[in-house]
Amino acid sequence: MNIFRLTTLAVLCMAGSVHAAPPGVVMMPAGQAGISQARSTPDYRHALSAMPSVVSIPDQAFDFNAAAVKGKLSPEAWDNGRRGSADASGIARRLFEASAEDRLESDSVTPYAVGTQGLQFTSSRLYPSQADTSYPTSATGKLWFEKVPGSGSWWVCSASMIKPGIVLTAGHCVSSGSGSWYGSFQFVPAYRSGAAPYGTWTSWVTTTTTSEWFSGGGGVSIGSQGGALTISSPTTSAI
């Protein structure tokens, strides 16, 4: 997804429902968020991944030379992240007690050279658990939601806070891709193995995604299905 579209999603989320969505972006109708708030605690341990099945990967994904060149480019114009170390003593909590199996899955790394599509993996952990509460990794966490608010069927995605109150995720984590919205969003920054060092953020205002994903029937490319969520922090401290 290009930087312009990400910027558009973020700016629109900050504006709330006051402004009409620009071409290429769809916003949840005013009032729907109020009736789509979570009414129960997520099934943190057994929530399903919302990642759609990968049918094919474009040829450019295998162009490692092009990827290396792009990685060396200077970042495009963008707001700096919000740095800081939060005093989370009042909101830190444990969502569930991790079993030995949970801890083993979280703390061990089994190296693989390539995946099923032939793409190279890393062979070691990029971020140790000690980095969870250090910026910028503290701004990344898990987003739980229900595809049908109130159904009790929970799903989970990864998400990152890119500005105060703006959480960026994938379009398939906020919308079905067939014209309907999900709800009951709950964001947990720096989540690991049941630990929520910055609490659970449940007060969300609106969400947006690309029009290409919202009405595309779920068949558009990953790069065309960004999603953003406006959410309130339970603390005034920075993460």
Domains of the chain, start order: 3-52+85-108+129-232 (2.40.10.10)
User: Would you state the pLDDT for residue 81?
Assistant: 38
Collect all residues with Cβ–Cβ distance below 8 Å to 8 and sequence separation of at least 6.
Answer: 22, 24, 25
**Confidence category of residue 173, pLDDT binned at 50, 70, 90:** very high
**Confidence category of residue 58, pLDDT binned at 50, 70, 90:** low
First to last CA, the chain: 25
Whether omega before 136 lies within 30 degrees of 0, making that bond cis, reads yes
CA distance 211 to 214: 5
**Confidence category of residue 130, pLDDT binned at 50, 70, 90:** confident
Residue 148, token pair as written in the block: 């049908």
Judge whether residue 176 has pLDDT over 70.
Answer: yes
How confident is the model over 76-93, as a mean pLDDT? 50
Tell me what the pLDDT averaged over the chain comes to.
74
Count CB neighbours of 65 within 10 A.
7
